[in-house]
Amino acid sequence: MSTKLQAKKRAEAKGEIFVDTTLPDPKKKYNVNSHYVKNADLRAELIKSREQGELTETAVYMIMQIAEKLSVRLKYTDEQDREDCIAYAVMDCIRYWRDYDPEKSENAFAYMTSVCTNGFAKGWRALGKLKCPDSLKIPISEAIYSL
């Protein structure tokens, strides 16, 4: 059992109200120079974006950080392929950010990471089709083709 859940149960047993102090302060600005994206900050930004109807600049910056970090795990022969896959991943996140439901899950970071990973896969498949055609057909006669 998590310590947060234990603290909540203890407070309920004593008849007190449990206050979660780990949630980010909405008045506090996101530190762009921070080391990496924190789940609570990303969740707060997505909720804020949902209320506004469009992604905030901070949320876009966080998504780009996630995509950059994920691209390090993969190996590319060409730097442009890496950049294209990052663009596909960010585009997928921007396309599907509205599908995140804060009532269903508190882990916005995991949701965005999985959407990013799927975006990388889509990008890699699209790049593969451009470089390697499905098959090479060499006509031998009018109706017969060779591979």
pTM: 0.65
Buried b (16+ CB within 10 A) or exposed e, 45-57: bbeebbeeeebee
Residues 6+ apart with CB under 8 A from 129: none
Angle between helices 108-131 and 57-73 (to 10 degrees): 60
User: What SS3 state is found at 145?
Assistant: strand
pLDDT (tens digit per residue) in 47-58: 999 999 999 999
pLDDT for 142 equals 64
Of 67 and 9, which is predicted with more confidence?
Answer: 67
